[in-house]
């Protein structure tokens, strides 16, 4: 049995060979503080965020694309994988996506979290590679492909060719940072305290990065910072656009930096084909237009951008056999970067 895992800062997705994506849950774990016992994981735990008593904590074990709390991440992965592998006899081989420039220690933390479930082998692959594969791009030929994978905790951009990364850069900025910006803005302007889940709903509902053709409004509910009583305010697309623009422009600068560092021949290919956007943040209205305006290259969003990484992990499963068969042949082109 071979499976692919996209262990993201916001959501964890699992792909099973010949079955497709069969699990998509929030990367959240809720636990009892006194008993040090997991109470819930996934979407069930996400529903508890900001609503737990002092005796229960609900947290994201991953921050900025890497594991911040190893024990909590291991427990979360174990429980989620039990939904996929119901038989303890089966020891699957796993392809896991990771940010392209994380340290060896951070890689090992991902491997340990997955290995704790009891797997035969773990293969790592950069998420920009699998994102391009999931978007239907051919990364194995001598042709430049550029992908920007925009997630909750990190944004990655890379130019790929011959199954490898010619240029790759990652910044620990993404949708979560936009949520934080919205939380701060609402408190500063309206003296209203809201949580990140409410900010995320606001971003999804009215977030945009170009002037909207039609103004949208969203009702933000929270606690008055002065009176402490429940209150709401209505915010519109234009003001939220101003709030999230700073983070968006840092992502644009990331894409510019990658283009500036790429070999001229590959940049020519990218100019002809354009840049492909993947990841949930790519769905923010006006993001492709903002990037295209600044880099002067056409930009398109992949179909189902939030699923490109996990679909690419499913395609990368096909290379496991080659790695195991040709383990000592260094010149083979294979997108999988490491095996543990």
Domain membership of residue 199 (yes or no) is yes
Residues 121 and 171 in one domain: no
Residues 47 and 150 in one domain: no
* 230 alpha-carbon distance from chain centroid: 33
Residues 145 and 284 in one domain: yes
Whole-angstrom CA distances from 149 to 94, 131, 255, 283 are 21, 7, 10, 11
**Where residue 238 sits, what CATH number does that domain have?**
3.30.420.40
Residues 166 and 207 in one domain: yes
Contacts of 183 (CB under 8 A, 6+ apart): 194, 195, 196, 199
Q: Cα–Cα distance between 163 and 124 in angstroms, integer?
A: 14
Domain membership of residue 80 (yes or no) is yes
Residues 157 and 277 in one domain: yes
- Residues of the chain predicted below pLDDT 50: 328-331
Range of the domain at 112: 2-131+311-339
Q: Does residue 206 contact residue 214 with C-beta atoms inside 8 Å? A: no
Task: State residue 330's pLDDT score.
Answer: 47
Whole-angstrom CA distances from 128 to 79, 140, 169 are 27, 13, 10
Residues 286 and 156 in one domain: yes
Domain membership of residue 88 (yes or no) is yes
Residues 165 and 94 in one domain: no
Residue 163's SS3 state is coil
Q: What is the DSSP string of 72-96?
A: HHHHHHHHHHHTT---TT---EEEE
Residues 162 and 296 in one domain: yes
pLDDT digits (tens, 9 = 90+) for 93-141: 999 999 888 889 999 999 999 998 888 899 999 999 999 999 999 999 9
This prediction's pTM: 0.91
Domain membership of residue 186 (yes or no) is yes
Q: In total, how many domains does the chain have?
A: 2
Task: State residue 192's pLDDT score.
Answer: 97
Domain membership of residue 54 (yes or no) is yes
Residues 263 and 282 in one domain: yes
Q: Cα–Cα distance between 122 and 115 in angstroms, integer?
A: 7
Domain membership of residue 306 (yes or no) is no
Share of the chain above pLDDT 70, in %: 96
Residues 141 and 287 in one domain: yes
Task: State residue 21's pLDDT score.
Answer: 94
């Amino acid at each position: 049995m071979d499976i692919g895992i996209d262990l993201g800062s916001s959501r964890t997705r699992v792909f099973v060979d010949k079955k497709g994506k069969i699990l998509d849950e929030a990367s959240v774990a809720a636990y009892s503080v006194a008993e040090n016992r997991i109470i819930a994981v996934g979407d069930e735990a996400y529903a508890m965020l900001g609503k737990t008593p002092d005796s229960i904590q609900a947290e994201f074990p991953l921050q900025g694309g890497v594991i911040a709390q190893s024990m909590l991440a291991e427990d979360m992965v174990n429980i989620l994988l039990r939904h996929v592998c119901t038989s303890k006899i089966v020891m699957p081989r796993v392809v896991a996506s990771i940010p392209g420039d994380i340290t060896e220690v951070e890689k090992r933390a991902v491997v340990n979290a997955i290995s704790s479930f009891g797997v035969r082998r773990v293969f790592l692959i950069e998420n920009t590679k699998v994102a391009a594969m999931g978007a239907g791009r051919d990364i194995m030929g001598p042709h430049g492909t550029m992908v920007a994978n925009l997630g909750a905790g990190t944004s990655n951009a890379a130019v790929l060719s011959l199954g490898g990364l010619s240029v790759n850069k990652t910044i620990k900025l993404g949708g979560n940072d936009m949520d934080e910006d919205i939380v701060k803005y609402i408190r500063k302007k309206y003296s209203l305290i809201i949580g990140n889940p409410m900010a995320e709903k606001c971003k999804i509902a009215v977030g945009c990065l170009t002037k909207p053709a039609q103004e949208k409004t969203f009702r933000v509910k929270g606690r008055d910072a002065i009176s402490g009583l429940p209150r709401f305010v209505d915010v519109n697309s234009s003001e939220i656009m101003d709030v999230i623009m700073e983070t968006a422009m840092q992502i644009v600068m990331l894409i510019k930096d990658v283009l500036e560092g790429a070999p001229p021949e590959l940049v020519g290919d990218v100019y002809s084909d354009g840049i492909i956007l993947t990841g949930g943040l790519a769905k923010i209205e006006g993001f492709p237009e903002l990037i295209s305006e600044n880099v002067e290259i056409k930009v398109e969003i992949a179909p189902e951008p939030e699923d490109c990484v996990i679909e690419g992990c499913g395609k990368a499963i096909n290379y496991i056999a080659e790695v195991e068969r040709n383990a000592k042949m260094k010149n083979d082109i294979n997108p999988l970067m490491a095996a543990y």
